[in-house]
């Protein structure tokens, strides 16, 4: 790794670590304090929105009603986006006269953005009108992140709140969490970030494409659009749905090394800060730092592995007179190079962002394996906004169950007992991911509809399938590329995968919160296992890695591993 790469990595880790506490404190003040900050400005807007939407901020919801609200809100959003996409030819802000989106693609796209996945089976600049980009998709970029934060807060409240006279059995109010997320966090940060991005040369315009001539005199259409306004929330909300098909590899979507760096910071900003917020809620910030620590270690290991894999030359090009020391440059932007691409790939798959600045399909087999494994570990390495925290907390519950037994006590987390009901819910959460990924991958790998979309044969094709479904169920949205996914089979299966991966995981999370919130808290003693310790960080990492590895190792051996070993013999697919 180059010196510049090392420095950039260290600076990135330093920035994330330093930002976690202040942002976490701010989030804590926004969601959990009696009086949120900035009452005179943002507070007024918040109150206004409550009145407009008919929300009573004092009213609390039980887990079931919170879950109902999440589902209803999701359903409404999906239908609205579906309608806009189908009717975009009749709606304004369509300078390119884009036609109606096919129904399977509209379903896939609506679900994809509502579930914070942002899987894109289409190319934005040649499929969608400006209105579709802004209303049908931009809306979800904000709200799907806000819902994620809400669910994470609900689980955190279930784990940390003591049963008391007020707030008993209630896990918060989705509408309040949603509005606060928008008013205090997502919208203001997006505005600030947009100004910065525009200053770096990012496009922000509603105009039609510009006709230009290249130096050779060939006519060329340069697509324009409201890019900067989408770009911030794309990263900040771990959405990842690019305005342009090539996403953050496009110079208008990621013009400078600085925007690249800031975009990556934005991805980790909220997932990292939420761990601190959680620690504050637990009344012991070490609880939050322990989760942060586990995330950080897994991230750094992944980063090193991806970089090392990409730094190694492509054995298939061994005889050619090129600079092998540059590493594997296929599918990478020269502006970002090996390290900039490896860093971006690791961040975007660790957090369930899914934006890309290089084509993962062209990575070396092992370099492509790490992003895939990042997703398959359950999107908990910082993970999606909110979803990373609640996923990590589920793993913490599992880790605590084993740790509790090992120290001779029935397991407890933050003083609350983990019993049969909680284990059932935690296991439901854990099971849905492998069930859908492996089930649908197996189907796709044996059906002609599935196979016809593959860009490559052999193990690489299998990796494309596994990657697509892992990305969909993990609500990541990162595409391996190579797969021609805009076909009814893929649009529908991936759409269903995204729905299952979002809502079938949120429901057990909220139910777990509801079952924990009424529990008595056992005071801490020397006999209770400390969940804020380094030892716990190690145990947590062990549980995540072992569970993920054991689940996917067989499938991965047939995909990237088989390809890797084949490449050593000079065989490529």
Partner 1 sequence: MSSRNAERSLFEPALIMQAALASVRKLAPQHMIKNPVMFVVEVGSLLTLILCLRDVMSPSSVTSPHWFSAAVCLWLWFTVLFGNFAEAVAEGRGKAQADTLRKMRKETRARKLCDGKEESVSASALRKGDIVLVSAGELIPGDGEIIEGIASVDESAMTGESAPVIRESGGDRSAVTGGTKVLSDHITVRISADPGQSFLDRMIALVEGASRQKTPNEIALHILLVGLTLVFLFACVSLVPLGSYSQLRLSITVVVALLVCLIPTTISGLLSAIGIAGMDRMLRKNVLAMSGRAVEAAGDVDTLLLDKTGTITMGNRMATELIPLRGVAIDALADAAQLASLADETPEGRSIVVLTKDRYGLRGRDAARFHFVPFSAQTRMSGCDDGARVIRKGAVEAIRRHVEALGGSADEELEALAARIGRTGGTPLAVSDGSSVLGVIHLKDIVKGGIKERFERFRAMGIRTVMITGDNPQTAAAIAQEAGVDDFLAEATPETKLRLIKAEQDKGKLVAMTGDGTNDAPALAQADVGVAMNTGTQAAKEAGNMVDLDSNPTKLLEVVEVGKQILMTRGCLTTFSIANDVAKYFAILPALFVPAFPQLAPLNIMHLSSPQSAILAAVMFNALIIVVLIPLALRGVRYRPLGAAQLLRRSLLVFGLGGIITPFVGIKLLDLLLSVLNLV
Among 7, 205, 405, 484, binds partner 1 (CB under 8 A): 405
With binding defined as CB under 8 A, does residue 87 bind partner 1? no
Q: In angstroms, how far is CA 382 from the centroid of its own chain? A: 8
Given a contact cutoff of 8 angstroms between Cβ atoms, the answer to whether 354 and 476 are in contact is yes
How many CB atoms within 10 Å of residue 7? 10
Among 435, 452, 455, 484, binds partner 1 (CB under 8 A): 435
CA angle in degrees (0–180, nearest 5) for 517-521-525: 150
In whole angstroms, the minimum distance from the beta carbon of 562 to partner 1 comes to 5
Structure tokens at 331: 């599918």
With binding defined as CB under 8 A, does residue 286 bind partner 1? no
Dihedral of the CA atoms 480, 301, 425, 396 (nearest 10)? -160
Q: Based on CB atoms, which residue is closest to partner 1, 81 or 551?
A: 551
With binding defined as CB under 8 A, does residue 297 bind partner 1? no
CA angle in degrees (0–180, nearest 5) for 142-144-148: 115
Q: Which stretch binds partner 1 (CB under 8 A): 15-23, 330-338, 381-389, 554-562?
A: 554-562
In whole angstroms, the minimum distance from the beta carbon of 417 to partner 1 comes to 9
CA distances from 383 to 184, 207, 268, 572 (A): 21, 35, 8, 32
Q: Based on CB atoms, which residue is closest to partner 1, 21 or 161?
A: 161
Q: In angstroms, how far is CA 443 from the centroid of its own chain? A: 25
Among 406, 452, 455, 518, binds partner 1 (CB under 8 A): 406
With binding defined as CB under 8 A, does residue 284 bind partner 1? no
With binding defined as CB under 8 A, does residue 379 bind partner 1? no
With binding defined as CB under 8 A, does residue 459 bind partner 1? yes
| Residues 512 to 531 in contact with partner 1, rule: CB under 8 A | 520-523, 525-530
Q: Based on CB atoms, which residue is closest to partner 1, 245 or 424?
A: 424
How far apart CA 414 and CA 530 sit, in angstroms, is: 9
The residue behind tokens 């659009």 is 225
How far apart CA 327 and CA 223 sit, in angstroms, is: 32
Among 419, 456, 488, 503, binds partner 1 (CB under 8 A): 419
With binding defined as CB under 8 A, does residue 316 bind partner 1? no
With binding defined as CB under 8 A, does residue 568 bind partner 1? yes
In whole angstroms, the minimum distance from the beta carbon of 495 to partner 1 comes to 21
Structure tokens at 297: 């270690």
Q: List helix spans (H) across 312-386.
A: 337-350, 365-376
Q: Based on CB atoms, which residue is closest to partner 1, 196 or 443?
A: 443
Structure tokens at 455: 């860009």
Calculate Rg over the CA atoms of the chain.
23
Q: 539-542 — which CB contacts under 8 Å span 24+ positions?
A: 539/399, 539/402, 539/403, 540/290, 540/291, 540/294, 540/392, 540/395, 540/396, 540/399, 541/294, 541/297, 541/298, 542/399
Q: Which stretch binds partner 1 (CB under 8 A): 22-30, 385-393, 423-431, 505-513?
A: 423-431
Q: How many residues bind partner 1 (CB under 8 A)?
A: 67
Binding-site string for partner 1 from residue 528 to residue 547, where x marks contact by CB under 8 A and - marks none = xxx--x-x---x--x---xx
Q: What is the DSSP letter of 358?
A: B
Q: What is the 3-state secondary structure (H, E, C) of 380-410?
A: CCCCCCCHHHHHHHHHHHHHHHHHHHHCCCC
With binding defined as CB under 8 A, does residue 552 bind partner 1? yes
In whole angstroms, the minimum distance from the beta carbon of 448 to partner 1 comes to 12
In whole angstroms, the minimum distance from the beta carbon of 447 to partner 1 comes to 9
Q: 399-403 — which CB contacts under 8 Å span 24+ positions?
A: 399/536, 399/539, 399/540, 399/542, 399/543, 400/529, 400/531, 402/539, 402/543, 403/529, 403/536, 403/539
CA angle in degrees (0–180, nearest 5) for 137-141-142: 125
Contacts of 392 (CB under 8 A, 6+ apart): 275, 291, 294, 295, 380, 383, 540
With binding defined as CB under 8 A, does residue 442 bind partner 1? yes
| Residues 22 to 41 in contact with partner 1, rule: CB under 8 A | none
In whole angstroms, the minimum distance from the beta carbon of 357 to partner 1 comes to 30
With binding defined as CB under 8 A, does residue 391 bind partner 1? no
With binding defined as CB under 8 A, does residue 446 bind partner 1? yes
With binding defined as CB under 8 A, does residue 315 bind partner 1? no
With binding defined as CB under 8 A, does residue 217 bind partner 1? no
Q: Which stretch binds partner 1 (CB under 8 A): 215-223, 225-233, 401-409, 503-511?
A: 401-409
**Residue ranges binding partner 1 (CB under 8 A):** 398, 401-411, 415, 418-420, 422-424, 427, 430-431, 434-435, 438-439, 441-443, 445-446, 458-459, 461-462, 520-523, 525-530, 533, 535, 539, 542, 546-547, 549-555, 557-558, 561-562, 565-566, 568-569, 571
């Amino acid at each position: 790794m180059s010196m510049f790469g090392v420095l950039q990595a260290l600076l990135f880790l330093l920035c994330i670590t330093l930002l976690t506490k202040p942002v976490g404190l701010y989030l804590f003040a926004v969601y959990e304090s009696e009086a949120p900050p900035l009452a005179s400005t943002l507070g007024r807007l918040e109150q206004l929105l409550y009145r407009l939407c008919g929300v009573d901020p004092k009213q609390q919801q039980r887990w079931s009603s919170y879950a109902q609200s999440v589902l209803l809100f999701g359903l409404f959003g999906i239908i609205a986006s579906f309608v806009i996409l189908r009717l975009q030819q009749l709606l304004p802000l369509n300078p390119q006269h884009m036609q109606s989106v096919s129904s399977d693609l509209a379903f896939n796209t609506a679900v994809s953005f509502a579930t914070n996945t942002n899987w894109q089976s289409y190319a934005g600049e040649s499929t969608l009108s400006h209105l579709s980009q802004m209303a049908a998709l931009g809306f979800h970029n904000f709200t799907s992140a806000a819902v994620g934060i809400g669910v994470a807060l609900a689980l955190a409240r279930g784990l940390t709140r003591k049963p008391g006279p007020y707030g008993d059995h209630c896990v918060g109010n989705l509408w309040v969490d949603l509005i606060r997320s928008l008013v205090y966090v997502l919208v203001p940060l997006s505005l600030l970030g947009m100004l910065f991005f525009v200053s770096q040369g990012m496009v922000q315009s509603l105009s039609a494409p510009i006709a230009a001539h290249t130096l050779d005199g060939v006519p060329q259409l340069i697509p324009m659009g409201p890019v900067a306004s989408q770009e911030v929330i794309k990263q900040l909300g771990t959405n990842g749905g690019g305005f342009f098909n090539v996403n953050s590899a496009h110079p208008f979507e990621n013009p400078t090394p600085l925007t690249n760096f800031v975009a990556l910071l934005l991805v980790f900003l909220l997932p990292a800060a939420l761990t601190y917020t959680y620690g504050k809620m637990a009344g012991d910030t070490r609880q939050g730092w322990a989760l942060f620590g586990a995330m950080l270690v897994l991230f750094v290991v992944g980063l090193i592995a991806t970089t090392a894999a990409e730094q190694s030359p492509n054995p298939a090009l061994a005889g050619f007179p090129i600079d092998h020391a540059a590493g594997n440059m296929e599918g990478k932007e020269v502006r970002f190079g090996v390290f900039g691409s490896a860093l971006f790939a690791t961040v975007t798959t660790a957090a369930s962002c899914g934006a890309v600045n290089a084509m993962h399909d062209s990575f070396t087999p092992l370099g492509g394996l790490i992003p895939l494994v990042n997703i398959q570990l359950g999107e908990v390495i910082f993970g999606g906004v909110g979803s990373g925290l609640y996923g990590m907390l589920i793993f913490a519950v599992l880790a605590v169950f084993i740790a509790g037994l090992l120290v001779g006590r029935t397991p407890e987390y933050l003083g609350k007992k983990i019993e049969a009901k909680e284990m059932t819910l935690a296991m439901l959460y854990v099971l849905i991911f492998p069930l859908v990924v492996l089930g649908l991958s197996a189907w796709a790998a044996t059906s002609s509809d599935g196979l016809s979309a593959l860009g490559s044969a052999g193990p690489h094709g299998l990796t494309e399938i596994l990657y697509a479904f892992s990305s969909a169920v993990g609500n990541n949205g990162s595409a391996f590329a190579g797969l021609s996914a805009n076909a009814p089979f893929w649009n529908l299966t991936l759409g269903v995968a995204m729905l299952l991966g979002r809502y079938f995981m949120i429901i057990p999370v909220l139910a777990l919160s509801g079952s924990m919130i009424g529990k008595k808290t056992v005071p801490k003693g020397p006999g209770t296992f400390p969940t804020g310790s380094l030892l716990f960080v190690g145990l947590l990492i062990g549980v995540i890695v072992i569970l993920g590895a054991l689940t996917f190792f067989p499938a991965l051996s047939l995909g990237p591993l088989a390809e890797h070993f084949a490449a050593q013999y000079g065989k490529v697919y």
